[in-house]
Amino acid sequence: MIRFGPSGNSESFYEQGNKSSVQMPGWLNRMGLNAYEYQCSRGVNIDEAVAGRIGEQAAINDVFLSVHAPYYINLASPEEEKRNNSINYIIDTMKAAKWMGAKRIVVHTGSCGKVDRKWAFNTASAALMEAIRQCDRLGLGDIAICPEVLGKMNQLGNLDEILEMCRLDERLIPTIDFAHLHARGMGCLNTSDDFEGVLNKIEAALGYQRLKHIHIHFSRVEFTAGGEKRHCCYDDVRFGPDFEFLAELLYIKRMEPVIICESRGSMAEDALKLKNIYEKHAARGGIGCEKGFDH
Ligand SMILES: [Zn+2]
């Protein structure tokens, strides 16, 4: 099934007196949401007991869990020690995911600001394979690593690089961040064809089954010549991308992605807006869209 939820905890969650992420799955369920991306973006600091309680609540409330790995991971660092540390941060995130019963972790693979892009790609790919080998040895192989399309030009992780990386192991699932794609392409996602081009490219690289279950990050985004500047809330229509076209295509192509909303502050409220847009298109049965589909 298709799932919608926030990245981290909305401001309103705290304003309503909630204090712990253990309360998030129930809070999301009452809102009508069914996914939650737990943030370890500043470090994996969760203990096993708390992670276990989040997992219990997620199971009771039918909330699909993913965990975002630390931002400072750089599998393309020129320094071997930093690459090895990055592999360890991935393993730490995988352990936290295991405690929670999370099925996916999202990873920023690295930077190529100071090194040659091709060298960065090959180095990060080798380090990612090493991370997978170590995770398998530790019994963590049932959790999917989801390398993310990133929004800044000097980051490793344009769409081609992420898809190529995902071909290394069939368990890898791409995190397609449409805000990042839009920012990297200087505002390139404006029509149904623009979005369909992205989905077709994923399918050509990884096949329909992996396309069907991709991990999606969605929000509006402000960008500069260097790429993403900041994620915006969904009502801020000065910025793209708009979810309407993608929602229709997800329905027509019978896709079942996990869609995580990264709006600043109002990520849960905006995840619900995305869900409502999708359901509007589903209720119409895709009528009005001329695109054929063959699945
Ligand atoms: Zn991310």
pLDDT tens for each residue of 252-288: 999 999 999 999 899 999 999 999 999 999 998 866 5
pLDDT computed for residue 23 by the predictor: 97
pLDDT class for 114, splitting at 50, 70, 90?
confident
Q: How far apart are CA 76 and CA 121, in angstroms?
A: 7
Compute the distance from residue 21 Cα to the ligand 1 centre, in Å: 19
Q: 27-41, pLDDT tens digit by residue?
A: 999 999 999 999 999
Place of tokens 């992605």: 257
pLDDT computed for residue 286 by the predictor: 67
In percent, the amount of the chain with pLDDT more than 90 equals: 93
Q: How far apart are CA 114 and CA 17, in angstroms?
A: 45
**Closest to 60 in 3D by CA, of 37, 31, 28, 38:** 28
Give yes or no for residue 292 having a pLDDT over 70: no
Q: How far apart are CA 68 and CA 258, in angstroms?
A: 13
Compute the distance from residue 196 Cα to the ligand 1 centre, in Å: 22
Compute the distance from residue 125 Cα to the ligand 1 centre, in Å: 18
Give yes or no for residue 112 having a pLDDT over 60: yes
Across 39-68, average pLDDT: 97
Work out the number of other CB atoms within 10 angstroms of the CB of residue 61. Answer: 17
Q: How far apart are CA 286 and CA 269, in angstroms?
A: 25
Across 99-117, average pLDDT: 95
Compute the distance from residue 99 Cα to the ligand 1 centre, in Å: 21
Beta strands 220-224 and 227-232 are antiparallel
Q: How far apart are CA 278 and CA 142, in angstroms?
A: 29
pLDDT class for 291, splitting at 50, 70, 90?
low
pLDDT class for 294, splitting at 50, 70, 90?
very low
CA atoms 48, 50, 56, 61: torsion sign = negative
Give yes or no for residue 137 having a pLDDT over 60: yes
Compute the distance from residue 291 Cα to the ligand 1 centre, in Å: 31
Place of tokens 């260097």: 226
pLDDT computed for residue 191 by the predictor: 96
pLDDT computed for residue 285 by the predictor: 82
Which structure tokens are listed for 8? 């981290």
Compute the distance from residue 256 Cα to the ligand 1 centre, in Å: 20
Compute the distance from residue 24 Cα to the ligand 1 centre, in Å: 20
Domains defined along the chain, listed by start: 3-284 (3.20.20.150)
Q: 228-245, pLDDT tens digit by residue?
A: 999 988 999 899 899 999
Residues in the chain: 295
Compute the distance from residue 295 Cα to the ligand 1 centre, in Å: 30
Compute the distance from residue 217 Cα to the ligand 1 centre, in Å: 8
Give yes or no for residue 143 having a pLDDT over 90: yes
pLDDT class for 293, splitting at 50, 70, 90?
very low
Across 106-133, average pLDDT: 96
Compute the distance from residue 108 Cα to the ligand 1 centre, in Å: 6
Across 72-76, average pLDDT: 97
In percent, the amount of the chain with pLDDT more than 70 equals: 97
Give yes or no for residue 289 having a pLDDT over 90: no
Compute the distance from residue 285 Cα to the ligand 1 centre, in Å: 32
Compute the distance from residue 197 Cα to the ligand 1 centre, in Å: 22
pLDDT class for 295, splitting at 50, 70, 90?
very low
